[in-house]
């Protein structure tokens, strides 16, 4: 296949259609990437829409491979209406544009077009050639019928993007869906400050470890000299990616440059970087970018766009800002060029995590956004770009919204009290605490970006590994309740016994404690339940819809059949999940 791909490239082919699957029947983008190496054509991936294979797992891989711009899928013969019902879910979870293929005839094309849930779907009618013989050829009369119907429906004008701004909005909407479905990411704070471990000249910083250059006002020359001893031999991007996948994370965000001004990548804009000054000249951003691609993880970078304690024009928190011309000089000499390097030299970025815009003007914030949009239109911009130019909300550090938000949001959180490595900080959270936080975040429609701070050698602190290993074990048991889910409508009563997430025709009850009589009631739920089961084992539970004394619908769930399993999970993780199938697409709650 690799030889064929190179031959197609020589012939000027601009797009290929393929459907490479692994032994489990899931889209194999790793093999596809190897086959297409050295080519530049776009890819349409051929994938079934029915439930005969793991569509969700395939979409998760497809969404992360930027060269796949379209998915060609079949409506099937004899099951067109059933598969049309699947399209809303497909549209919500697929980044590439959807093309409907076989199953379309001149007899049903009008019905199909009128049944489409969105105009962002293309219809494909074609004839397959195998060994020179046409399979199900389209005869001349049928072709004339198709042309007549298409003209009457004016299908060729149905999808129309009026301008570049509208096109960008469509692209960002699709990327946001992928990002939302991912749900759980790994933040990595790593840099020269990791060598100090929160201590300088025998004193422990009372503040965040990564802020030590500013907090202790370390002389510039002294701090810069740390680069000569920055040789983190234990930092291994592949090992970190393996950990992230074990821990249930779907994306990684690495600090490419923090406020201290030291970049972990090769930069011609500023020599204060790991390639130019550290002993082995390592480009950690490149290492992590390539490892994420190998391990099927979305790659993101953190970049401090306003604060820079190494450049005379960079802002410094809690200090007087430099003169405006000097800050402009910093933007033009360092910030903008380094962002351009990150956006053009390290492959596709799923997101850029900007931070502390402080006194940046709307025009300066817009300059940053325009640069990102021009170089990588699908790259998301975090909530801390400033001036309300973000693609999604970034909450305050370790600050959880009390309810769901209209816009996608992300909570950045730590496992102890600092982001960068702090030797004295042993205030580690438990796995139960992390699981509860992640559950709250997902139940309110957000993402959790959870941090680790490798030490100066690049090693991840063992307590971080222990906590996240246990969290990952829980997520392996109950993954369906966390990935690709949405927030349910706010439950009408104040309670702390359970949280809710949902996806199409599924509701997940994240139980925190067993009711005394093993009977769980959910009030004001109008949906008709089809089944209920403990998610990790599949043990079936009795569920019925009843009316309370005020006449409101109520789910009555008997947990007795899975009591021992529920008790074990609650004892170990503080949580267990019950899956309920419903007839409707989403949970419906009645008013008081």
Tell the residue number behind the tokens 């503040």, with chain if given: 207
Segment 116-125 shows an average pLDDT of 65
CA dist., res. 483 & res. 506, Å (int): 13
% residues pLDDT > 70 (the chain):
83
Joined tokens for residue 193: 């400050």
What's the pLDDT at 33?
79
The model's pLDDT over 450-479, given as tens digits with 9 standing for 90+, comes to 999 999 999 999 999 999 999 999 999 999
Q: 471: left (phi > 0), else alpha (psi -120 to 50), else beta? A: alpha
pLDDT at 531 over 90: yes
CA dist., res. 167 & res. 174, Å (int): 11
* Confidence label for 383 from pLDDT (cuts 50, 70 and 90): very high
What's the pLDDT at 22?
84
* Confidence label for 98 from pLDDT (cuts 50, 70 and 90): confident
Joined tokens for residue 587: 């949970």
Residue with more model confidence, 377 or 100? 377
Lowest-confidence range among 90-104, 108-122, 133-147, 262-276?
133-147
CA dist., res. 288 & res. 300, Å (int): 10
% residues pLDDT > 90 (the chain):
68
pLDDT at 545 over 70: yes
Q: How many CA atoms lie within 13 A of 73 on its CB side?
A: 25
CA distances 500 to 314, 527, 591, Å, are 44, 14, 18
CA dist., res. 372 & res. 391, Å (int): 12
Give 501's strand partners. 487, 508
Helix axes 431-443, 462-478, angle to 10 degrees: 50
What's the pLDDT at 162?
47
What's the pLDDT at 161?
41
Q: Best-predicted range by mean pLDDT among 54-68, 103-117, 146-160, 539-553?
A: 539-553
* Confidence label for 82 from pLDDT (cuts 50, 70 and 90): low
Identify whether the C-beta of residue 244 lies closer than 8 Å to the C-beta of residue 254: no
Task: Of 37, 455, 567, 22, give the one whose Cα is nearest residue 210.
Answer: 455
Lowest-confidence range among 125-134, 310-319, 325-334, 381-390?
125-134
Beta strands at 68-73 and 97-100: parallel, antiparallel or unpaired: parallel
Question: Could you give the strand order of the β-sheet that contains 542-547, starting from the edge strand earlier in sequence?
Answer: 519-523, 553-558, 542-547
| CATH domain 177-478 topology | TIM Barrel (3.20.20)
What's the pLDDT at 136?
53
CA distances 271 to 268, 311, 486, Å, are 7, 11, 44
* Confidence label for 15 from pLDDT (cuts 50, 70 and 90): confident
- Whether this model's pTM surpasses 0.85: no
pLDDT at 299 over 90: yes
Joined tokens for residue 381: 């911009």
SS3 of residue 578 by DSSP: strand
Residue with more model confidence, 17 or 119? 17
What's the pLDDT at 130?
44
What's the pLDDT at 129?
45
What's the pLDDT at 482?
97
Q: Dihedrals φ, ψ of 422, to 5°? A: -130, 110
What's the pLDDT at 132?
45
What's the pLDDT at 146?
57
pLDDT at 8 over 80: no
Residue with more model confidence, 483 or 114? 483
SS3 of residue 289 by DSSP: helix
Joined tokens for residue 495: 């309670």
pLDDT at 346 over 70: yes
Query: Helix count (H) and strand count (E) of the chain?
Result: 20, 25
What's the pLDDT at 382?
98
Provide the H-helix boundaries in 11-119: 29-36, 55-63, 80-84, 87-93, 109-115
Same fold across 2-160 and 177-478: yes
What's the pLDDT at 119?
59
What's the pLDDT at 57?
82
Cα dihedral across residues 7, 11, 15, 17: positive or negative: negative
Lowest-confidence range among 64-78, 235-249, 408-422, 433-447?
64-78
- 151-156: which pairs have CB atoms within 8 A and are 24 or more residues apart? 153/110, 153/113, 155/113, 155/123
Joined tokens for residue 238: 């592949």
What's the pLDDT at 555?
96
pLDDT at 91 over 80: no
CA dist., res. 352 & res. 299, Å (int): 9
pLDDT at 576 over 80: yes
**For the domain with range 2-160, which CATH number is right: 3.40.50.300, 3.30.2350.10, 3.30.70.890, 3.20.20.380?**
3.20.20.380
- Which CATH superfamily groups domain 488-582? Golgi alpha-mannosidase II (2.60.40.1180)
CA dist., res. 538 & res. 1, Å (int): 41
CA dist., res. 234 & res. 194, Å (int): 13
CA dist., res. 298 & res. 498, Å (int): 30
CA dist., res. 63 & res. 179, Å (int): 10
Q: Which residues make Cβ contacts (< 8 Å) with residue 36, sequence separation at least 6? A: 5, 16, 43, 67
Q: Return the domain boundaries, the chain.
A: 2-160, 177-478, 488-582
Whole-number average pLDDT of the chain: 88
pLDDT at 144 over 90: no
What's the pLDDT at 157?
43
């Amino acid at each position: 296949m690799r030889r064929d791909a190179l031959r197609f490239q020589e012939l000027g082919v601009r797009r290929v259609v393929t459907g490479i699957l692994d032994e489990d029947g899931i889209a194999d983008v790793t093999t596809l990437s190897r086959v297409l190496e050295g080519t530049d054509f776009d890819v349409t991936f051929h994938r079934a829409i029915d439930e005969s294979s793991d569509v969700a797992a395939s979409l998760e891989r497809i969404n992360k491979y930027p060269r796949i711009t379209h998915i060609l899928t079949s409506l099937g013969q004899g099951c067109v209406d059933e598969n049309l019902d699947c399209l809303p879910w497909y549209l919500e979870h697929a980044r590439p544009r959807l093309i409907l293929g076989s199953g379309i005839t001149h007899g049903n094309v009008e019905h199909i077009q009128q049944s489409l849930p969105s105009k962002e779907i293309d219809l494909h009618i074609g004839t397959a050639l195998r060994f020179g013989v046409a399979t199900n050829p389209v005869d001349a009369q049928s072709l004339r019928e198709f042309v007549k119907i298409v003209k009457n429906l004016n299908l060729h004008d149905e999808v129309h993007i009026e301008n570049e701004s509208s096109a960008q909005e469509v692209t960002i909407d699709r990327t946001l869906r992928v990002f939302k479905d991912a749900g759980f990411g790994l933040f990595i704070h790593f840099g020269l400050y990791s060598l100090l471990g929160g201590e300088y000249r025998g004193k422990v910083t009372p503040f965040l470890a990564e802020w030590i250059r500013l907090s202790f006002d370390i002389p510039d020359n002294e701090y810069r000299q740390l680069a000569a001893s920055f040789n983190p031999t234990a930092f291994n991007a592949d090992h970190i990616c393996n950990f992230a996948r074990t821990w249930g994370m779907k994306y990684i965000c690495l600090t490419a440059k923090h406020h201290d001004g030291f970049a972990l990548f090769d930069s011609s804009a500023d020599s204060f970087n790991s390639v130019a000054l550290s002993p082995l000249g390592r480009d950690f951003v490149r290492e992590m970018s390539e490892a994420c691609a190998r391990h099927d993880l979305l790659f993101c970078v953190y970049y401090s766009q306003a604060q820079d304690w190494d450049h005379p024009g960079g802002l410094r928190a809690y200090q007087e800002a430099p003169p405006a011309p000097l800050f402009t000089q910093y933007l033009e000499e360092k910030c903008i060029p380094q962002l351009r390097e990150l956006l053009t030299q390290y492959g596709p970025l799923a997101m850029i995590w900007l931070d502390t815009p402080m006194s940046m003007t709307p025009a300066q914030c817009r300059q940053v956004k325009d640069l990102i949009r021009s170089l990588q239109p699908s790259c998301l911009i975090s909530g801390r770009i400033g001036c309300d130019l973000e693609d999604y909300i970034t909450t305050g550090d370790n600050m959880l919204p009390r309810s769901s938000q209209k816009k996608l949001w992300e909570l950045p959180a730590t496992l102890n009290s600092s982001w960068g490595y702090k030797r004295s900080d042993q205030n580690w959270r438990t796995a139960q605490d992390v699981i509860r936080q992640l559950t709250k975040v997902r139940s309110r429609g957000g993402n959790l970006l959870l941090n680790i701070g490798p030490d100066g050698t690049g090693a991840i602190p063992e307590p971080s590994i222990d906590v996240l290993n246990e969290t990952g074990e829980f997520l392996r048991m109950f993954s369906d309740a966390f990935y690709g889910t949405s927030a349910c409508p706010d439950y009408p009563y104040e309670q702390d016994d359970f949280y809710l997430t949902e996806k199409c025709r599924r509701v997940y009850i994240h139980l925190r404690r067993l009711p005394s009589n093993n009977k769980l009631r959910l009030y004001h739920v109008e949906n008709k339940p089809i089944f209920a089961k403990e998610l990790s084992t599949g043990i079936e539970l009795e569920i019925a819809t009843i009316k309370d004394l005020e006449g409101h619908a109520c789910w009555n769930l008997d947990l007795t059949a899975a009591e021992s399993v529920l008790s074990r999970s609650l004892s170990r993780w503080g949580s267990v999940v019950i899956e309920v199938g419903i007839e409707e697409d989403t949970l419906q709650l009645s008013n008081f």
